[in-house]
Amino acid sequence: MLTLPPWLGRAEPELVRDYLDPAEEPRTRNFAAALERCVGAGRTIEVHDTHNSVSAIAGVEKLAWDSEHFGIGCARLAPVCVSPGLFAEQRLAAVAQIVDAAMAWCREHELSVLQRRVVGARGDEVRILEDRGFRLMDSIVTFTAQAKVAGEITSVRSVRTEDHTALLDIARDAFPHSRFLADPVFDPAKARAVYVRWLQTLLSGHASGDKSGAGGDVLVAEDAGKAVGFLSIRRDQNLEALTGRIVMPIEMIAVAGDKRGQGIGGRLLDAACSWAAQHGAELVEASTWTASMDIRKFYQRAGFVMRDVLFTLHGRVS
């Protein structure tokens, strides 16, 4: 049984959804569950201060889905919970100790790639990771918009089984960035296939690895009776338990290459905001790569506002 530090729910920003300001109690539960999972699939790491109190606690775990898909041992360092109110230098020193211990654990377990995702508020920790050979693979911006019921949005409807092949074809080549495509250690064909596997999971309505299609819908845009774009949106019980609000994430959006720039993506976003409102949501969340100015403009034009950034780094374990 893990002993949790009393400050856990007030730890420094760490969660992808900390921008939604979750309360202390659900935040404690969220960290506790993630740390418990690491006891099973990895290890936890503690850092003590000069009075022998825990000043930071973290978890590292093997990523079974990624390891199986790429045939390369992959692990994740998360969460890294740091006591509130430490001086920046104390926090950076604690994180450095944690990263070193996590790398050592990966080495012992023959895992080659260690992933760490850093929230914008703790961007100064990137240099601790870079000092240890980590490289930035991905930078993501998160947006939200108010859910609101719109009038009928033409040519957008719920997915049907007969759409699946066309949608999987769109997903195969649509996405230009990802942490897997950016890291030369991963086979590019397998990196592109991640999006196809993800869409298959969303269409199935079930969970696979870290992804789930439960509680959601895939909205399809039609042009002359053909499926030419899709967007997936869903209810996420964990997110609701954490934030106490109904916030629905858009998981994927893509329009066929020859149909872009004609307003189809915009209609899908409007339909998503409407679907979310009809299902009781307050906010819709979307995230995309900071690298694409066009896609950022696309969300902003549809009324989405930027809330946070996330940096994903990969460390090579030798």
Contact footprint for ligand COA (CB under 6 A):
174-175, 253-255, 260-266, 288, 294-295, 297-298
Choice between 89 and 152, CB closer to ligand COA: 152
Helix (H, G, I), strand (E, B) or coil at 54: strand
Determine the angle formed by the axes of helices 293-301 and 264-278, rounding to 10 degrees.
Answer: 50
Distance (Å, whole) CA 288 – CA 300: 12
Choice between 94 and 174, CB closer to ligand COA: 174
* Shortest Å, Cβ 180 to ligand COA: 15
Choice between 105 and 275, CB closer to ligand COA: 275
* Shortest Å, Cβ 293 to ligand COA: 8
Choice between 71 and 151, CB closer to ligand COA: 151
For the CA atoms of 172, 214, 238, 141, the dihedral, rounded to the nearest 10 degrees, stands at 20
Q: Evaluate whether 82 touches 90 at the Cβ level (below 8 Å).
A: no
Choice between 203 and 253, CB closer to ligand COA: 253
* Shortest Å, Cβ 203 to ligand COA: 17
* Shortest Å, Cβ 47 to ligand COA: 36
Q: What are the E-state strand segments in the chain?
A: 42-48, 54-62, 74-82, 113-119, 135-146, 156-158, 207-208, 211-212, 216-223, 226-234, 247-255, 283-289, 305-316
* Shortest Å, Cβ 192 to ligand COA: 12
Choice between 134 and 143, CB closer to ligand COA: 143
Distance (Å, whole) CA 60 – CA 193: 26
CA angle 222, 216, 139 (to 5 degrees): 85
Choice between 98 and 255, CB closer to ligand COA: 255
The residue with its CB nearest to ligand COA is: 265
By DSSP bridging, strand 74-82 and strand 54-62 are: antiparallel
Distance (Å, whole) CA 25 – CA 28: 5
* Shortest Å, Cβ 132 to ligand COA: 30
* Shortest Å, Cβ 297 to ligand COA: 4
* Residue 126: both structure tokens together: 């990137």
Distance (Å, whole) CA 41 – CA 96: 22
Q: Evaluate whether 41 touches 79 at the Cβ level (below 8 Å).
A: no
